[in-house]
Every structure is written in structure tokens, then in C-alpha cells.
Amino acid sequence: MKNLVEKLEKLKNLIKEKEKLIISFSGGVDSSLVAKLAFDMLGGNSLAVTIDSPVFPRRELENAKKIAEEIGIRHKIIKESSLGKKFLLNPKNRCYYCKKEEAEILLSLARELGYKYVADGVNISDFSDYRPGIAAVNEANFFHPLVEANISRKEVRLLAKKLGLSNYDMPSTTCLASRIPYDEKITYNKLTMIERAEDFLFSLSFKQVRVRYNNKNAIIEVYPEEINKIFVNRDEIVRVLKRIGFSKFILLNFPVTGVILNSQVERVSIDGGAITSNLANRVMVLVDKSVYEGIKNELDRFSTDLSKEGWICEIYPKKIGCPGWDDPEDVKKFIVSHSSDLAGCILVGNIPMPEYRVEKGYMNQPETFPCDFYYMDLDGKWEVYDKGGNSFGYYYTVFCNHTNGNGSKAPEIWVGRISPSSWIGDNVSLLKEYFKRNHAYRTGSLCRASRALLYIDDDWAKYGSEYKRYLENIYKSSLITVINDPEKTREKNYLNNIKKEKYEWICLHAHSSQLQHNFYYSDHTKWDSLTSWELRKNYKSAFFYDLHCCEALDYFQEECIGNLYLFGNTSGLTVIGSSKVGGMIDNGKTFYEKLKSAACIGDAFGEWYSLKGVKYPSYCYGMMVLGDPTLKPKKDEKPPSVEITFPKKGYLYIFGREICPLSTGKTILIGSCILVVEADDINDIGRVDFYVNEELRFTLKSKPYQLDLKNYSTGWYDIRVVASDKFGNSNNDHIRLLLINF
């Protein structure tokens, strides 16, 4: 808080130095803070100016008037009814052309009224985003007081609250043009349709709403907790949107995290009054009651986490031994009876295991194996081959001859099983730990670098390049490690790779059984065996495992190696693989292609089954998911950390030696010194750019990140450093200093 107070004082001094100031004023919290301090420091020598253009909603214009009146500052509104031709073409840098025109208007007004400076509300957080409009105002030499005071978006809100601004917690707003996809021409009619639709929805008391225009479809974005308002008012919404000119609307969670999930989409057609809805965002969690009481708190938190992401989570604790719950057929009837809008089902604890029999399986011999695909297909026909039970309370049902029945063989939902093995540890404790790390992953406190390991033993080694291309659907090529040298793929080499906290995703191709992996020598005369017991001793760090390993997910076996990846370490979240000899018939090609755009692993897995798995029962019907299918590797959108650690801002230095802080808040260097920058990122820093007076001087791609000032002449310098990671995320720090060199 002390640092924030110092920044506020610096901000006041920066504004006071300008003597007369025009503020580009939208009524948002950033420009409101600048306007408030300008009025406090300069009084009548401050002027807030709002450009009233077709992309500026009327409701925001009224808000700007209200906030200006609240501050007490003089407020001028300039009507601009036309938009430039380049802007209307809607290129990716459209904001540049818009801001350029606005800057010219404001500079012309400043010259007319005798003002030297025009300020705006750009803050340091804006530089971590794609903001082409900033280039336009920089060309116009706008004054960025929040940047010069090193104030972030979060700090803006804290200061606005401290100064009593009523809009301190106002949601961020963007212009109406941002609702139209790049390269689709902007028209005045489209802007009017968007504004009318948003005004109507705001009249229904939504906290935040955006309507995006896409081929006459209205894509409505609202916060997850307000989705029910859409359903309550759906008929009226359909009627009004149709009257405005839209053909249908698509409902999405407001992308608070920047991620929009396909499974959160409702499509409602507006066609002659007929409404069709296809919302599949319900998740059913079936819990063995023998573990339910012990993990109830974790399940409640899991349900809350899912709801924040737009899922509707329903938990059903059931006691094994109760009628209608021991037999897979009855479990499936229960799922079918609750299948309206169902996206998937998660089985927690000892939920009955369906089995499937093929007469010509491995080596053309009959095979019987666990088959959770039975629960995924809700309308196909499955013949019962055998069923029974014993005195120990174990009931089994074996199915065969899967056909379309009255529906199809394709799955309607996905299924994931979270069922620990007692040989690893106490079931309740293992489940508590699993849901604890699931929560940590969703909330960001458990994270890894976005790296993948593709480990391929001898028989598939020649396909390394092809398999890597599959993984490139979700990981950058440079972040995928491929190990497929037949002379290296051994037990110890694999262990050495997975023991390190290095990978988020591991894809393994190796001969296996329920209890071990077998790594062949290049001459195929012998192999190294890695047993589940040996694997248990070694720390495994990945979150996600794709095991192209026969029988690895046969969870009926107490020492199932797939379950070990899920529960035998501190990171496992989801494991994909087969309970039988076989696997993904296309070695994951379709799955990874679908995962690129799917909402979650479950959706991609279900699509793979529909397109590939159902065609090859004897090879693919053992494929299943252990763990949580609602997850998916997160796209790295977190900017790196970057800080100019030397010199300190607001201090006096003589030949690199710190003398004292300066009451003026200025940074003064007498004699040369080396400017030092610290930058870090979970996925490593890709580059650090050094800008001196907004001119890129040089780029460093490795530590140390330093700028030697010995060859710079005496004068004032604005130095900005921009750190970027390998995903294009960037962050920056800035210092303005006076250098007196000899």
C-alpha cells in the first residue's frame, strides 16, 4: 500500500507539471482517474473531451457525462458521425485508424484552445495486450500519466476507489466495432443492431453483456452466474432479437479467462417462431457412497469450480449394494433417465464395471475387458453375454454384439472414471488429494510449463515425426520433446525423463500389460520391464497422460499402471488409454485434431469414438478415460514477470552507487551505470526488448538482461523493457531518468 501511495503522489506531480491538460475521456475507470487528478491538480486548466462516434454506445456517453459531472471537471463532447474507409474495412489493426482520427481531432482542439498536452488513460497493463491504438496516440505524442507513474489496471481501480470515484469497479468496456470479426466489413447498420441488442439485454439487469455480430447471428456473452436470466427471458429475447434483425443467438459464458467452451453453447434458431435448443453443459457425478462422506467437501468445491466454468454439476451419491446400483445395466438406466442436456458423466469410487467380449480379439482369440464405452452410448443396443455375482458383493455384466438398436453406436456423452486402487493408499485419502490438485490446477496454483514429452519405443519409432505433428495441435513444436532413438528408449531413460517436473503432457508408445511397460532393445531379443511397483517409487510430474500401451487402463487389476499415473504421484489429473490389447486405431490423429478446438478432453475423446472407435470394436472398445474429462491443457496466456531492478525509481545515484531517495520522485544518475532487468516466465523468456525514447535499441534472448548507459550522452531518457515468452505473451516495465554523463 505504501508503494501505491508513492505512485499516487508521483502521478499527481506528473499531472501538475503539465499546467494545462486535455484528457481523452471515455468515462471508463482509467480516463476517469486521470480526469479526477487533473481537476484536483489543475482545476479550470483541465478539460475532459469525449469523442461521440458511431462506435461509442449511447449508454456509455451518458455514463461519461455523469462521471464528468461527479468529478466537477469541464466536459466537452465532440460529435464525429463518420468513420474512415480503412477502419470500415476492419483489418486487425483497425484500432490504429480509429485512434489516429480521434488523436487528430483532440490535437486540433488543443491547438485551438492553447493546450500543450493531451492525456489519456493508457496504463502499463495495456502493453501486455494487443493494442494497435496505442501506436497512434504515441505518434501524436499523447501524455500517458498512468504509464509514467508505473500504474497497472488493478492499481487504477484501487486508486479510483480511494479517491471516491463511483465507477471504480465498472466492468471494462470496448467499442462496438470490437464485436465484429476482423476482416468482416463494419457497417453503420451492424453497429446499430449490436447497440440495440445490448441495450435491451442491459435493461434485463445483466451486470455485463456483449453481443457479437457474426453473419447475422447474435453471440451473447454473459457471466456464468447470469446464464439463468437468459433462459427465464428466452422468449422475449428471441422476439426482440428477431425484430432487430438477427437470425439466431448463441449463448456463451462471458470469457473472463479468455476461453470460450464449446460445451457451454446454446444455439436457439429464430425461424418462424420455432425455437430449437441444444444445450449440453450438465455433468453428472456418480459417487460410491462408501467414499462420499469422506470427500463431500472436496466434491462441493469441485462442483463450484465446474459451475464457474459454465458447467452445471449434479452429484449423486449412491450406496453399493442398493437395488438398481450394483448392475451396470441399472446404472446406465439411471444415467439415461437423467440425460437431458448431459455432456458427460464422472464415476467416483467403486461404480460397477461393464465388460465387453469380442470373439476375435488379440491373436484372433476371444477377449473380455472393461468397457466404459457402454456408459457413453445411451441409445445403442448391447446384448448381454453373461452376468452374475458372488458372496463378496462383486457383480459383473459382460456385453457383446453392440449395434445401433433404436439409435446409433456413437456415444452421446463422455465418461471418466476416478477410482483409486487400494494398493496405492487409502481410497478416501487418495480421492481427497486428487480433488485438491484438481482445484489447484483450475485456479492456477498448480501449474507446469506448457511442454510435452513424446516417448516412442522401437516398434513405432519411425513414426516419430508423424506423431509429433498430432501433438502440434495443442503444443508448439519447439515445446515437444521427442525421444524415439531405439538405442535410448529404455526403462532408466524413461524414468529419468518423467521424474523431473518438466512436462505437462506425456504421450507414451510402448508394449505394456496391466502391470508394466516393456521397452525393447533394438535387436528385439530382450527388453527392460518397468513394473507398476518400480514406477510407484519414482516421482511423476505430468498432469495428462496419453498411453498407447496395451491393457494399461485395465482398472479391474489392483495394480493397474494407468491408475498409478493418476493417483501414485502429486500431479496426475487425466489418463487416456486402453483396458485391452489395442488402443486408438489412428494413434491419436483424430483425437488431437479435435482437442485443438474442443472444450475439454472428454469432448475430443467422444468425437474420436464417434469417428473412429465405433468402427473397430475388437481393437478400440477398451479405450477409456481415467480422471477428469472436463479438463484440457491450458493455453499459456499469463504474461512473464519483468522489472527494472537497478536503478530504483525516484533515487539519486553517483557512478552506480545509491545515494538517497528524491522527494521529487525523479530518477537521476550522475556518471554511467548499468541498468539491470529481471525477467521470468514459467515457459522461459523468449526475448527482452530494450526501447530508449520509444526506439528499439536491441534485443536479448538470454540472461543477463542489462543496458550499459556509459555511451549515452547527458539528457532525459524514457527506457521501456518488454519481456516476451515463447507464446507471444508480453509484459513491460518503464523508467524515466536523467543521465548526467561525463
> Would you call 413 helix, strand, or coil by DSSP?
coil
The H or E element spanning position 249 is strand 248-253
The DSSP-derived string for 268-313 is EE-BTTB-------EEEEEEEHHHHHHHHHHHHHHHHHHHHTT-EE
In 3D space, the residue among 107, 93, 105 whose CA is nearest the CA of residue 51 turns out to be: 105
The arrangement of secondary structure in 2-171, i.e. its CATH architecture, is 3-Layer(aba) Sandwich (3.40)
> Would you call 700 helix, strand, or coil by DSSP?
strand
Q: What is the pLDDT of residue 267?
A: 34
Distances (CA, A) of 237 to 320, 326, 502: 46, 46, 49
- The type of residue at 266 is E
The H or E element spanning position 544 is strand 544-548
- The type of residue at 612 is K
- Give the three cell numbers for residue 489: 528408449
Interhelix angle for 58-71 vs 29-42, to 10°?
30
C-alpha R_g of the chain = 31
The H or E element spanning position 33 is helix 29-42
> Which residue, chain included where needed, has cell 482542439?
109
For residues 207 and 226, the answer to whether their CB atoms sit within 8 Å is yes
Do the first three CATH levels of 187-259 and 447-602 match, i.e. the same topology?
Answer: no
> Would you call 682 helix, strand, or coil by DSSP?
coil
Q: What is the pLDDT of residue 274?
A: 29
641-740 is classed CATH 2.60.40.10:
yes
The model's pTM:
0.59
639 upstream amide cis, omega within 30 of 0: no
pLDDT means over runs of 10, the chain (742 residues): 83 94 95 95 94 91 93 92 85 90 92 92 84 89 94 92 92 88 88 90 88 85 80 77 76 42 33 35 89 94 85 79 70 90 91 93 89 95 86 74 90 94 81 95 83 92 94 89 92 85 89 92 83 75 93 88 87 95 92 85 92 93 96 79 94 94 92 93 85 91 93 94 80 93 85
Fold of 187-259: GMP Synthetase; Chain A, domain 3 (3.30.300)
Q: What is the pLDDT of residue 273?
A: 31
3-state helix, strand, coil in the chain (%, to 5): 35, 30, 40
Q: What is the pLDDT of residue 359?
A: 93
The structural domains of the chain, with segments of one domain joined by +, span: 2-171, 187-259, 447-602, 641-740
- Pairing between strand 516-520 and 527-531? antiparallel
Q: What is the pLDDT of residue 241?
A: 83
Fold of 447-602: Rossmann fold (3.40.50)
